[in-house]
Amino acid sequence: MKLDRVLTVAKYHDAPRLGVAELNGVPHIYESEFDERTEEYRDTYFLSPIDAELLALVIEDCSIFHRWRAAFLQGQVTPDSIPALPHERRRHEELKRAIGGRLKSDPMNRLEFKAKFEINPGTGWEGTLVEWQALTDRTGVSNSAFIVKGRSAFR
């Protein structure tokens, strides 16, 4: 069983649904699609490579949220100030604009996996791990055939 680190959780509904996690040690965007017909999230995830610039922005914004969460748990801020401490609000808004709609899987450059998340209770998302299970496409070829340890072999 190979476990990779979950670096961010941008959306959660019964499980992490969108964020950045490693695949063989390389950061990728993960995204679970919402099925409008069943009104449920699917149990599979699309993974796409993430560029270094977007990764840095997402990690910085996530760090701002973690500092807010720590202050909230200590009773230093109220829920209405989520997701940033007052002195970091401006930077959070700048990051939000810079990230825009780019934190999503790329339909032209993604592979599909099942995921098993191991969430460390009481730590927020810090320390969360994920086991990616490659799916097999209609031709019988496993996604794992396209993954090279230490780097993404996507297009």
Domain extents in the chain? 4-152
Could you report the per-residue pLDDT of 10-58, keeping only the tens digit for each?
A: 999 989 999 999 999 999 999 998 899 999 999 899 999 999 999 999 9
pLDDT range class, residue 126, cuts 50, 70, 90 = confident
* The predicted structure's pLDDT at residue 145: 45
pLDDT of 95 higher than 60:
yes
Could you report the per-residue pLDDT of 59-89, keeping only the tens digit for each?
A: 999 999 999 999 999 999 999 999 999 999 9
Mean per-residue pLDDT, 129-145: 69
Angstrom distance (rounded) from CA 129 to CA 47:
15
Cβ(65)–Cβ(55) below 8 Å: no
Residue 31: which H helix or E strand, with range? strand 26-31
* The predicted structure's pLDDT at residue 123: 67
Cβ(146)–Cβ(21) below 8 Å: no
* The predicted structure's pLDDT at residue 147: 46
DSSP per position, 74-132? TTSS-GGGTTS-GGGHHHHHHHHHHHTT-SS--TTS-EEEEEEEE--TTSTTTT-EEEE
